[in-house]
Amino acid sequence: MLDEAQGLQYALEKLAATRPTAVNLQWALSRMEEELQNVPEDQRAGVALDLAQTLEQEDIEICAAIGVNGADLLQKLWEEKRATQTKLNVLTHCNAGALATVDWGTALAVIYKAIERNIPLHVWVDETRPRNQGAALTCWELAQEGIAHTLIVDNAGGHLMQHGQVDVCIVGSDRTTLNGDVCNKIGTYLKALAAKDNQIPFYVALPVSSIDFSISDGLREIPIEERSALEVTHVTGVKDTGELATIRLSPEGVTASNYGFDVTPADLVSFLITERGVVKAKKSEIVSLKK
């Protein structure tokens, strides 16, 4: 039988182990540990709920501020392009909206705040295999807000960039290093490479809690989760009847690898958009965000 202190530590460690790549889960759990460590076990649930609701309200404000700061960048970009085109084309990867955070999201907060300023936007939505967060979640969110968007397969982004159909890429981040390396959903690195080759801005929208100030080398120091091979070999979707169904895509028994994230080096990132301002992806500017 675990005592109170051991029980709390056990719960924190189990929760932290679910997302080793995402640093702001560790940040939230650290806040929870600090709040609960001297609270009797029979009172912890109420105290934990109170803190969770505080974090929720903080997150709403943080994401709204990220959106405003990012919309400033899109406003400037639109002013440069409005004489020659009718809309600003944004490419996203994975889901970084209200379903991932609270109310606003991170990358999608930038889009929502830009729409509030009447900047005409069209969003290219990467499907984001293998979990298809773009197809299932981002498309749903944008549709709820009436924002023009088009779903594309993950490998189409580079082609669109080559043909002048993408003006800016905006993604979120699960962990960003002190030197500006960005860890995000697998496939982000390839979009950043294509953006660099085509002189397209590549923005990363993130709360400061997603910055790991203790590490500098993303490629060597960020643990990358490898998830179930079934996510690659099988796909789940909705049948015409409305029922969920899972089917196998690959030959039975095939070996599959499923890395959940990749690291985009800082030199491929145009700007980091945070609630405390917009900075370049380099140590001298990122360190200014730490309180």
How many other C-beta atoms are found inside a 10 Å radius of the C-beta of residue 259?
11
Residue 42: active-site member: no
User: CA-to-CA distance for 261 and 227, rounded, in angstroms?
Assistant: 10
Q: Name the residue among 35, 28, 16 with its Cα closest to residue 59.
A: 28
User: CA-to-CA distance for 10 and 110, rounded, in angstroms?
Assistant: 37
Token output for 242: 């409305």
Question: Do residues 181 and 265 make contact, with C-beta atoms less than 8 angstroms apart?
Answer: yes
Side chain identity, residue 101: T
Q: CB under 8 Å to 21, separation ≥6 — which residues?
A: 174, 175, 183, 222, 223, 224, 225, 260, 261
Residue-wise burial string across 33-50, b where 16 or more C-beta atoms lie within 10 A, e elsewhere = eeebeeeeeeebeeeeee
Q: Which of 126, 154, 167, 174 is catalytic?
A: 174
Region of residue 146 (phi > 0: left; psi between -120 and 50: alpha; otherwise: beta): left
User: CA-to-CA distance for 50 and 232, rounded, in angstroms?
Assistant: 39
Question: Do residues 288 and 279 make contact, with C-beta atoms less than 8 angstroms apart?
Answer: yes
Q: Name the residue among 132, 73, 76, 146 with its Cα closest to residue 107.
A: 73
Cite the active site residues. Answer: 174
